[in-house]
Structure 1
Amino acid sequence: MAAPLERGKACSRCRRRKMRCDGQRPACNQCVRAERAEDCEYLDGPGPTQNQILEGEIARLETRIANITAGQAPLTLYDPYAAWNEAQRTARQPNPNDPSRTLVQHFVRHATEFGFFLDIHRFLDRVFTQSPSRSQSMGILLKVIYLLGAKFSNNAQMLAQEQTYLTRALQGLPTALPEDPRSAIYVMQAEVLLANYFFNANRQLEGVYHTNAAVSIAMASRLHTIRSSGRSRSGDSSTYRLPPPADALEEGERINGFWTVFTLDRCWAIASGSTPAFTDDEATGTQIDTPWPMDLSMYRSRPMPNDFRTKNTVKSFIAGADGDANMRSQSLLAIHAKAAILYESATRLASRYNPSSQASYLSLDNRIERFKQALPRIDQFDPMRADVIREALLTHTLAHCATIQLHTPLVQDRVTANSRTFQAAHAAIANLNLWHLNNAPILYCMNPFNGILWASVARVISQGIATGRRLRATGAAGSSQGTPDERTLQSDMERVVAVMSQNATFSPLMNTQVGSLRSARS
């Protein structure tokens, strides 16, 4: 029989539950048998534990929110992960026996860029500091977070466990939804993260599968009609009918969750050559009436009035009914969703272009240009917020690629200096050059759709180079005067390839795109 454990040496979970602990590390047998190894934490190490650090930072966040609500602090651009970033800077060396907190820390740094729409502090508070029991849906989401934490860590030991984390995350998904309907939002969040994980891994079929799963949950939960002013269709029912939100923040999570899934669906439907799953058809009850998303902090400080209602959100935007005024005050998620709408609309219209559709073509072209002109410039964002810069850069590039998609049928492979496709591609690269001068790490792109967009930009530049050479080879001197300077084109191409290569080690999708570009150039 093993000698009894010295007093005070039991892990914190066994202490709370008054269980006999064997003191094994990194996790005791009690926690392992209960499948709670990630919660096995010993309090006899130097300095505060990760739980204590987290509790302190949550308290600090609550104080800050109270100050903002009382009007005692300026409403500047909100960093939802400031508390965690501060904890990582000021806390002592993490406990090597507590890998779960380390994985969460790695995940938090890039969470929003990979589609995390929940309030991170509320979620982690529920996971780590409240009831020792957690819902199955919450546990599955946490497993996905561990998976991405390992992916983001760039640590060989953690990366070696990536497949193990993936297997654990996928095993629980089929049985995750029959519990409390309120937990459906956690499963939808897990599906979004997994979709981006697979897209980034260049496993498009699996990415589309998890995107469609997220769309199904959003539609079944009727997240597309939050605060709708329209009447519900008779006989309408929801598989995961959500109870009313507990507070303004929970409603905000649902709104932001819907638009995150919507944007994911719109963009990757184009990349995979499929039709978006969100149909936005009032006749079938799939119309999109949900209001545009806000920063999560705004739902607490400036909640929507009880009688606030919206209708035909996407259709009104395409028609220009809601305008583009005050876009700088809108959330980056809202601007990103709008750019995705224009990108998908341009691709769909261009795929069936013919002279009879000229009016629709010009109308959408004007809509895209007005949107691009209203976008906040990249240099208007805080240069210290690399995550914000990357999100803004993605949105600008998405808008420029909407122009490329729309005009490609007209330009085909003859790209001149006056071609709208070249002008859009060159403008996208100008944004890259602007920030490369001062802060190259900002260009470390996390959202996997960057790989699709930059490949599209690079193809236009490559077509411009080929056009100029072809005209010069045939002696068409007069015609070649309209081609862009080849040195400019080569510089643009090198910039795009350099950015994509910089991200290729993290993103197999980006690596594949770079390989295709290099093969085409050679």
Structure 2
Amino acid sequence: MPDPSSSASGMTLSGDPPSGDQSQSARPKDRTASCERCKSQKLRCDRQKPSCQRCAKAQASCRYSGRRRPGFPAGQRQYLEDKISRLENEARRAQESSKVASDASIQSSDTPNSEPTSTVIPDLVAKPQAPDTDPDALPIATVEKTRSLAVKDPPADLLFSLTALFFRHVHPWLPFLDPQQVFADMGSTTNIPLLYFALFGASIPYSRDSRLDPRSSDSFWTHSKRRIFVDILEEPSLTALEALTILTLDLSGMTNGPQVWGALAIAVRFSLQLRPIGNRVLRLSPETRINTPLSASEQTNRCRLFWAIYALDSYITITTGHLSDLSEDHASLFLPTRNATWGLTLEPIHSPGQQRDDNGLGDEQAFSSAPTTFIFAYQLMLLDISRKIHKNHVQKFSSYTEADPWGQDFIDCSNQLFEWFMALPKWLLLNETLNGRPKSPGSRPSLLMLHAYYHALVIQLQGVVAYPMNEVDNAQLPYQPNESQSRCMRSIESMLTISRMVVDNAVCEKLGWPFAWSLWVACRYLLVRNINEGLNELESFSVLLGCLKTLSRYSQIGAKYWRLLTQAAAESQAQSSTTPSSRYTLLAVTDLRIPTSDLEDQARPDPVIYTVPSADGSATQICTNFDFDVNMQNFNESISEGTFAIPGFVSDNWYGASLFPSYGYQQ
């Protein structure tokens, strides 16, 4: 059989036998491609020059272009080769770093450690490791690390790819954005909307992209943060406020201290403009002017944004020692439409003892169709109570007098918490949702957060009564201490159950930092209980602490809680052989008058707010029994002489790190 290729090469394109040089070479490069006009119209071209027959008949211009070479476009091969080389280098560096880490662990295992002082948490007290830095070197301040950082604009594909991670991990417990609208806006404009920079920063902890190494993610995040701050200050708009809200959420997962208060204050101030006053509305963006009345969906989106800021304000403020800048009068303007904003028609909260009803949902199918908004509506009701609890807490420890209604407010808050829990629909109860047939897998993390936050509020409220600080407090208590103690322990048992559910269902990455705060409150109370009753029971403490350590993978603030509690527990176990002067962290953590934000800020090498001696040498009211700023153990100082003995801890100035995701998330 003749070779098909030779037969084909023996004929010209017109079908005539080849002649002369054509018969010798007839190479593909000598063949003429179709003209551009025939090619675009998908017509057969006779490929005649200077004009093919079709173009000549149509009296159109006939133009031939060179035949495209097969293979990759120009430069594509080099791009792929460079990318392969870069990935190979990254893999090689990762292997080398893991080898160094394994060698270090082998060497450390050869060093004999001291015996643990407890069989419950054997790893809390051990022989300290040698510091990696000069013992005389000062901790690195945040500002120094910030100045040494190169700011880079994140790639567009990375911005968009991380957006989906936000809606998978964060949106379920703060569902104020419209996912369909956010994804529809992708690529609709030449300039990347500001919101995507905020979503990118909040989603970095959940990404496994090789481009997000610690330094690159810090640089990308810093660029995004600064761009958002500049836009909201120079060109305020609804889109800038949405981005600032996400940034505030991101910052609150890193710190409860002053470094998040500024962003929150700006968000609170602009949130008051989300409610239309007459025909005045906040502009959508600097480029967009609204010339028509807001539609129902636009007004709903603005109300949801307000309640998201309200929730963040409540979460952050309860960790501080001051009251919220978002007053009840401002929130009351949005309150009449709150249930409608979240698509719910809720019945008035019934009195305890009444049968639980569906609260307007009708059946389980309605719950499954909108689980996140349904749960968040009840979370907002709980946050209403949390604001009252915080106000009660601040009043008690700041300017309490006999004329203050602290005791009555305490009883009111306690009753409201009980009524809120009794009003929950049956499928919002943990046993109904988790032990029975699952209603919606995505709703479990937000439901666990809801119940954990409720029990944390019970402990936050009842803890100051369970173990009063002095005899004066004891004489003015609205309840007997043993009654508050029993309520706290019931909530502790519930927190243990929730923690086991979190670990068993592997949902830590879908829990927000308020869940870490709930664990912090429970652990802090257990330490207070041990000190006041002379106990050394840390079994429940270790379960909660283990869950908190798992959560610290996704939030810096969770890691800070864990380190504070771990050192306090170590000092508690070793207190029989130590002097009171070496138990500074334990004394600070168990002093419920000291706000969480103060504990965190004072543990930094460069605290934003610090205490100075007064002219007469008197101490502040909140720290009368504890010189907080002077005696607080700084976690960034070099470890020596058995101080802060936690296995695996190295003196890496962790608390002095800039407020960037990678330092806390990529351990």
> TM-score, structure 2 length as denominator?
0.50
Find out whether 1:424 has 2:491 as its counterpart. yes
Say whether the 8 Å CA contact 2:465–2:484 is kept in structure 1: no
Task: Determine if contact 2:323/2:391 at 8 Å carries over to the other structure.
Answer: no
8 Å Cα contact 1:404-1:424 kept in structure 2? yes
Match of 1:506, SS state, is coil
Unaligned residue ranges in structure 1 (runs of 5+)? 12-20, 28-95, 226-231, 305-309, 311-315, 471-485
- Aligned counterparts of 1:187 and 1:319: Cα–Cα separation in 2: 43
Equivalent in the alignment of 1:117: 176
C-alpha offsets along residues 157-200 of structure 1, whole Å, 9 cap, x if unaligned?
3244322322332333355359998xx33222211211121122
Structure 2 partner of 1:77: none
Check conservation: 1:401, 1:453, Cα contact below 8 A. Answer: yes
> Take 1:8 and 1:369, find their aligned partners in 2: how far apart are those partners?
74
1:145 corresponds to: 199
The amino acid across from 2:198 in the alignment is V
**Structure with bigger RCO (C-alpha 8 Å, 6+ apart):** 2
Q: Is the 8 A contact 1:432 1:443 kept in 2?
A: no
Q: How does 1:199-278 map to 2 (within 5 A)?
A: 199-202=252-255, 204-222=257-275, 240=283, 247-278=295-326
Whether contact under 8 Å (2:392, 2:410) holds in the other structure is yes
Following the alignment from structure 1 to structure 2, what is the Cα–Cα distance between the partners of residues 103 and 289? 33
Asked whether the 8 Å contact 1:191–1:214 carries over to 2, the reply is yes
Which secondary structure state, in structure 1, belongs to the residue aligned with residue 512 of structure 2?
Answer: coil
Partner of 2:429: 377
Secondary structure of 1:365's aligned partner = helix
Task: Call closer, same or farther: CA 1:179–1:493 in 2, change over 3 Å.
Answer: closer
Partner secondary structure for residue 255 of structure 2:
coil
Is residue 504–residue 510 contact of structure 1 (8 Å, CA) maintained in 2? yes
Aligned to 1:505: 553
Instruction: Check whether the contact 2:545–2:562 (CA below 8 A) recurs between aligned residues.
Output: yes
* Contact 2:349–2:420 (Cα < 8 Å) also in 1: no
Matched, 1:448 2:536: no
2:448 counterpart of 1:389: no
Instruction: Note the alpha carbon deviations across 1:117-141, whole angstroms, 9 max, x for none.
Output: 211111211223x4x435xxx6111
Q: Who wins on radius of gyration, i.e. which is larger?
A: 2
Q: Following TM superposition, by how much is the alpha carbon of 1:511 offset from its aligned partner in structure 2, in angstroms?
A: 0.9
The equivalent position to 2:564 in structure 1, one of 498, 516, 522, is 516
Partner of 1:291: 337
Q: Deviations over 1:366-390 (max 9, x none)?
A: 1111112223212434748554222
Shift of the 288–8 alpha-carbon distance from structure 1 to 2, 3 Å rule, reads farther
Mapping of 1:307-346 within 5 angstroms? 326=358, 329=361, 331-346=374-389
What is the CA–CA distance in structure 1 between the aligned matches of 2:190 and 2:505, rounded to whole Å?
Answer: 44
Change in 2 beyond 3 A, CA 1:407/1:140: same
For structure 2, the 5+ residue unaligned runs are 1-64, 81-154, 362-372, 470-480, 571-667
SS at match of 2:325: coil
Within 5 A, what are the aligned runs for 1:2-81? none
Counterparts of 1:221 and 1:108 in 2: how far apart (Å)? Answer: 23
The answer to whether the 8 A contact 2:172-2:446 is kept is yes
- Shift of the alpha carbon at 1:146? 2.3
**What is the letter of the counterpart of residue 217 of structure 2?**
E
Give the aligned partner of residue 410 of structure 2.
Answer: 361
How far apart are the structure 1 equivalents of 2:266 and 2:77? 40
Pair 1:361–1:97, CA change in 2 (3 A): closer
Change (3 A) 1:202 1:4: farther
Distance 1:369 1:517 in 2: 29
User: Structure 1's 266 and 7: CA in aligned 2 closer, same or farther, altered over 3 A?
Assistant: farther
* 8 Å Cα contact 1:365-1:406 kept in structure 2: yes
Please say if 1:465 is aligned against 2:521. Answer: no
Moved more, 422-431 or 341-350: 422-431
- The answer to whether residue 475 in structure 2 is matched with residue 411 in structure 1 is no
What whole-Å deviation, never above 9, does each CA across 1:186-238 have from its counterpart, x for those lacking one?
22221121112112223633322222222222112327x8xxxxxx7xxx966
**Do the aligned residues in 2 keep the contact of 1:267 with 1:344 (CA within 8 Å)?**
no
Q: Residue 247 and residue 111 in structure 1: after superposition, are their counterparts in 2 closer, same or farther (change >3 A)? A: farther
Where does residue 60 of structure 1 map in the other structure?
Answer: none
CA distance, structure 2, for counterparts of residue 97 and residue 4 of structure 1: 34
Equivalent residue number for residue 104 of structure 1? 163
| Aligned AA (2:251) | F
Q: How many residues align?
A: 389
My pick for the range that moved more, 261-270 or 246-255, is 246-255
AA aligned opposite 1:400: H
Contact conserved, 2:379 with 2:450, CA < 8 A, in 1? yes
Cα pair 1:400 1:428 within 8 Å, conserved: yes
Q: Specify the alignment match of 1:474 in structure 2.
A: none
The one of 469, 486, 493 aligned to 2:541: 493
Q: Could you tell me how far apart the structure 2 residues matched to 1:154 and 1:400 are?
A: 34
- Residues 293, 334 of structure 1: 8 Å contact kept: yes
CA distance in 2, matches of 1:268, 1:409: 20
Give 1:343's aligned amino acid: S
Alpha-carbon distance, 1:365 to partner: 1.4
Output the CA distance in 2 between the equivalents of 1:458 and 1:218. 34
Change (3 A) 1:122 1:4: farther
AA in 1 matched with 2:197:
K
Q: Is the 8 A contact 1:176 1:187 kept in 2?
A: yes
Q: Aligned letter for 1:253?
A: N
Change (3 A) 1:318 1:203: farther
Secondary structure (helix, strand or coil) at the match of 2:304 reads: helix
Contact 1:195-1:207 at 8 Å conserved across structures: yes
Deviations, residues 80-130 of structure 1 (Å, cap 9, x unaligned): xxxxxxxxxxxxxxxx995444323333311315745211111211223x4
Provide the C-alpha distance between the structure 2 equivalents of 1:5 and 1:25, rounded to a whole number of angstroms.
22
1:400 is aligned to: 455
Which is helix-richer, 1 or 2? 1
When residues 99 and 365 of structure 1 are mapped into structure 2, their CA distance, relative to the original with a 3 A threshold, is closer
What is residue 637 of structure 2 aligned with on the other side? none
